[in-house]
Amino acid sequence: MGAVAPVPSPPHPVFVKAFLALAVGAAAVAAAAGCRDDAPVAPTAPAQAQSREQAPTRRSGPPVLGAAVSWDLMRSSRPYRRLFLAHYRALTPENVMKMDSMAPAPDRLHFTEADGLVRWARRHDVAVHGHALVWGKQLPAWMSGRDWEPGELRSWLESYVKAVVGHFRGRVDDWDVVNEPLAANGSLRRNLWLREIGPGYVADALRWAREANPRARLYVNEFNIEGRSRKTRGMLALLKGLRGDGVPLDGLGLQTHLTTSFNPGRAELRATMRRYAALGLAVDVSEMDVAAAPGRRDALEQARIYRRVAAACRDLPACGRFTTWGFTDASTWLGTAQRPLPFSAAGEPKPAWRAIRSALRR
């Protein structure tokens, strides 16, 4: 496929169609058929629709074990590549599918890096979870300070979501469609999408993704929603509203960025996961890490936390994927000194790794 595809930002459906034909590429085309800053969560459905619980999504077999990966390291470091392939069967791209990488200009989509990663994964029988289509961070530089005409950004975002999901249709069928939509108080987070499109952008993005790939599994992904909090209540309200309104949504990703002093208790975690699953959604662990101080005491506490979360995932039929955000302390967004991952910077298994494996296999 071409590395760079034209991406107009059209308000008219004719131009949207033309853009999709260019951006998706021949193979995918053949396969495809002013709101206020701190807005409340999108309006919920009528009470009857909200209260309707659906049968939870159920997996067969143990949860899939995955990790976020750096494509640069995967290409350049043989030890990094070998360590991943020895232990993991699924990956989430750390950066190459984020908007700043994929849309370097308003009229261009750049697929080279993401295509390379997906080809590599398919050669090695590794599943790819797409991350992330719509997020308020890591936006292209050209978006900063731009004066948007009414409806302009919404039209561009529709074109972008449909083009990216369509481009990878049949190769990437799981997507974090909306990443980190909530503020700590449970309202929608102040970001470009909220300001320019309004609170409906979450539902819009999910609908556009479904149109581009009817077989895709679509997720909302968020942090600090694993226990009792205003943010958790906000997420439950958002999910109930989306489900009640018939918005296509298949799952929720719990990022589970924890520390040895900040983590939910066993009962609290399990109860929260069950509440999400009762909405009929998959509830996956999507980005786990546990920052820890040096020393064996903290290493053992880190392992206990990993075991607790992995066991909660294993015991919940709706939890089909357990993913850590990286896998070696040599490459982590938190910095090597935080020691947050299951393998040391030298690639040696830590107590956390043994805890994860034993918990998932039981």
Q: What is the per-residue pLDDT for 145? A: 82
Query: To which CATH superfamily is domain 4-33+48-361 assigned?
Result: Glycosidases (3.20.20.80)
Q: What is the per-residue pLDDT for 3? A: 39
* Cis-peptide, bond into residue 21, ω within 30° of zero: no
Structure tokens at 177: 């469609």
Please write the tens of the pLDDT for every residue from 7-47. Answer: 433 333 333 343 444 444 433 333 333 333 344 443 333 33
- Mean pLDDT, the chain, whole residue set: 88
Q: What is the per-residue pLDDT for 54? A: 46
Q: What is the per-residue pLDDT for 84? A: 98
Q: Tell me how far apart the alpha carbons of residues 199 and 188 are, in angstroms, rounded to a whole number.
A: 7
Q: Secondary structure of 245-258 in the HEC alphabet?
A: CCCCCCEEEECCEE
Q: What is the per-residue pLDDT for 57? A: 63
The residues that are catalytic are: 180, 287
Write the CB contacts of 28 (distance below 8 Å, at least 6 apart in sequence): 166, 167, 168, 169, 170
Tell which residue, 269, 257, 277, has the closest CA to residue 228.
Answer: 269
Tell which residue, 281, 209, 191, 270, has the closest CA to residue 238.
Answer: 281
Please write the tens of the pLDDT for every residue from 77-94. Answer: 999 999 999 999 999 999
Amino acid identity, residue 131?
H
Q: What is the per-residue pLDDT for 45? A: 33
Tell which residue, 359, 360, 274, 255, has the closest CA to residue 318.
Answer: 274
Ranges under pLDDT 70 in the chain: 1-58
Give the 3-state secondary structure of residue 142.
Answer: helix
The four Cα atoms 247, 205, 149, 8 give a dihedral, to 10 degrees, of -130
Q: pTM for this one?
A: 0.86
Q: What is the per-residue pLDDT for 61? A: 85
Burial class (CB in 10 A: 0-12, 13-18, 19+), 307: buried
Q: What is the per-residue pLDDT for 144? A: 86
Instruction: Please name the residue that has the structure tokens 């997996």.
Output: 59
Q: What is the per-residue pLDDT for 362? A: 73
In terms of phi and psi (left: phi > 0; alpha: psi -120 to 50; beta: otherwise), the region of 191 is beta
